[in-house]
Amino acid sequence: MKSQRQTKLLEIVASQEIETQQELLEILCSHGFTATQATVSRDIRELGLTKVKNKYTPPSVVRQGGFSLRLKKIFKESVTSLDLAQNIVVIKTLPGLAPAACSALDDMGHEGIVGTLAGDDTAFAAMRDNSAAKVFLEQIFEMLG
């Protein structure tokens, strides 16, 4: 539950201008998470969120092989299976974590990715062509090791 809550917190601050912990808590609760002010405060500290120009922002991205370390961890913990459908990589995740998987893929900045799309437990990465999809899938399997 903590991982899912923190993933949602990252998604919220990436997509909205959040100025206060109370505002973050209210939005988090509106997405079905139960948390307290203290929990949100701990999550902010653990995620390394900082306030820049009066809004919460994710930490500076520390890259390793194209992924931020935090997103790589979330990706590894959330993915349950991977498959290929011509030029589309299909990623199955734990319920509610497909958006986090897409964030990790987008963060990767792989030139073969044309775009990503997330549902609840399934994400798609549209690749430039079939061979780019095969290479990318191999890279993901290697990364998941």
Beta strands 67-68 and 79-85 are unpaired
Question: Using 50, 70 and 90 to split pLDDT, how confident is the model at 103?
Answer: confident
- Per residue in 47-86, pLDDT (tens digit) is 777 777 777 776 544 344 445 566 677 778 889 999 999 9
- In this prediction the pTM is 0.56
Give yes or no for a contact between 125 and 139, defined as CB atoms under 8 angstroms apart.
Answer: no
As a whole number, the mean pLDDT across the chain is 83
Beta pairing partners, 57: 50
- Per residue in 111-140, pLDDT (tens digit) is 889 999 999 899 999 999 999 999 999 888
Rounded Cα distance, 98 and 5, in Å: 14
